[in-house]
């Protein structure tokens, strides 16, 4: 059974540690990106055959394939996806913002325009698994923002086809173009463009270590949402929590992959012991036991703190991707939470609710980056352009100050560009 750590007894470094089992794939990814730049579509076809096990006849998904997928997907599943899309759309529509203009009586006009990006690339993991929820979460905010074209890349199966449920989700979300390309080569194609895939302004979406590294390397050429790592969940629970529910929530993230982490912070010794036993019991009947067990044994933690306030302090240090507050008064605790990607309040709000149906985005900062970054939102798909207008008289009122400031920095040319207009 899992060893229980105790705040004050066990070293704080052990309590705060994160397992970093990420492979160093930077050189491999650099080579793939260079190859795609040099050979374009030919490189994409070759990598598809090498990594996906299929030789494609075309990179872009055809309208016929999309129509066939719509017929192949169960009507109930499409209903569920549309319902989820409605929730996502409703939540994210509140994030829309307008620009502003400030005009004063001295002939000064200042303002900001909010402009949607022209082209965005969405990466959706695929191949052996299908994640239509990622399609909805990434594409719907882009559509709401007014992005001109949304291009989606996803690896095909060995049959050379994209899972029908992915294509159906793309249709529901309003994706404009879909390409059968995965891995670092997809990121390279979106960043630099090929004969078939036009380059984009920004790339969003999760992926494996190769995708994450490729996004890191192309940043600057294009924008990215974040460099995502393994999935995380942290649960803060008091004695009112149900051990079976907490254990189930911890395993909901442990089953993602062997590098995922699941952590319980509690002030209750008895709850800690019960959750440890419940995790073991539930692991034995979980279909993805092998993955979840490796994650739990390598990265899982149960930590007993002296108080819930102490648990919150540890949570704020860890800045988890997903944070559940399974306490008697979650709304009372919420103001003390400073660092978390997404917070789930109360005993009946499992993280899986946020993955699929609630509406807030599930593309979240990982690895402690919630200290300085946020969930994917409409803001990720717009840019803000500021503007300034001064009349000559308005400029004259500030000319002396501007010139003095510029001269203090040794930039006489700056100063003279102002004084030239105001009687040198």
Q: Which helix (H) or strand (E) holds 78?
A: helix 75-93
Assign 361 to helix, strand or coil: coil
Whether residue 402 contacts residue 421, with contact meaning beta carbons closer than 8 Å, is answered with: no
Concatenated DSSP letters of 38-56 = HHTHHHHHHHIIIIIS---
Exposure class string for 390-418: b at 16+ Cβ within 10 A, else e: beeebeeeebeebbeebeeeeeeeebeeb
Is 321 part of the annotated catalytic residue set? yes
How is residue 195 annotated by DSSP?
Answer: S
**Residue 107 CB coordination number (10 Å):** 14
Contacts 24+ apart (CB under 8 A), 64-68: 65/161, 65/162, 65/167, 66/167, 66/170, 66/171, 66/178, 68/164
CA distance 36 to 48: 12
Annotation says 322 is catalytic: yes
DSSP label at residue 60: B
- Rounded to an integer, what distance in angstroms lies between the CA atom of residue 213 and that of residue 218? 9
Q: Which of 421, 424, 423 is nearest to 390 (CA)?
A: 421
Number of Cβ within 10 Å of residue 47's Cβ equals 22
Catalytic hit among 213, 232, 321, 351: 321
CB-based burial of residue 179 (10 Å sphere; 0-12 exposed, 13-18 middle, 19+ buried)? Answer: buried
| 375: CB partners within 8 A, 6+ apart | 341, 342, 360, 361, 362, 363, 364, 365
Identified catalytic residue from 92, 245, 322, 362: 322
Positions annotated as catalytic residues are: 321-322
């Amino acid at each position: 059974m899992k060893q229980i750590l105790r705040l004050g007894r066990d070293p704080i470094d052990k309590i705060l540690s994160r397992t970093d089992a990420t492979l160093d794939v930077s050189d491999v990814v650099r080579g793939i990106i260079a190859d795609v730049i040099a050979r374009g579509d030919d490189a994409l076809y070759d990598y598809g055959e090498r990594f996906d096990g299929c030789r494609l006849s075309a990179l872009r998904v055809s309208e016929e394939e999309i129509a066939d997928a719509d017929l192949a997907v169960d009507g109930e599943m499409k209903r569920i996806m549309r319902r989820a899309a409605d929730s996502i759309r409703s939540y994210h529509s509140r994030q829309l913002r307008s620009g502003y203009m400030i005009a004063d009586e001295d002939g000064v006009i200042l303002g900001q325009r909010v402009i949607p990006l022209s082209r965005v690339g969405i990466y959706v993991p695929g191949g052996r698994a299908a994640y239509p929820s990622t399609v909805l979460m990434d594409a719907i905010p882009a559509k709401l923002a007014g992005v001109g074209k949304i291009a989606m890349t996803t690896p095909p199966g060995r049959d050379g086809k994209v899972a029908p449920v992915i294509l159906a989700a793309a249709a529901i979300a309003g994706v404009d173009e879909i390409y059968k390309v995965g891995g670092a080569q997809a990121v390279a194609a979106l960043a630099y463009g090929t004969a078939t895939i036009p380059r984009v302004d920004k790339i969003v979406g999760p992926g494996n270590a190769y995708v994450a590294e490729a996004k890191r390397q192309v940043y600057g050429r294009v924008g990215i949402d974040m460099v995502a790592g393994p999935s995380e969940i942290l649960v803060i629970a008091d004695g009112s929590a149900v051990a079976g529910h907490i254990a189930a929530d911890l395993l909901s993230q442990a089953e993602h992959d062997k590098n995922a982490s699941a952590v319980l912070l509690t002030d209750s010794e008895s709850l800690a012991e019960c959750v440890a036993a419940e995790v073991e019991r539930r692991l034995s009947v979980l279909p993805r036991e092998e993955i979840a067990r490796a994650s739990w044994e390598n990265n899982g933690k149960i930590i007993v703190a002296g108080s819930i306030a102490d648990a919150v302090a540890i949570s704020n240090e860890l800045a988890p991707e997903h944070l559940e507050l399974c306490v008697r008064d979650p709304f009372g605790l919420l103001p003390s939470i400073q660092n978390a990607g997404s917070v789930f309040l109360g005993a009946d709000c499992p993280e899986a609710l946020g993955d699929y149906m609630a509406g807030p985005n599930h593309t979240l900062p990982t690895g402690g980056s919630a200290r300085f970054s946020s969930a994917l939102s409409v803001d990720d798909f717009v840019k803000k352009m500021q503007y300034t207008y001064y009349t000559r008289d308005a400029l004259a009122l500030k000319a002396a100050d501007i010139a003095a400031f510029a001269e203090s920095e040794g930039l006489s040319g700056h100063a003279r560009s102002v004084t030239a207009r105001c009687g040198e």
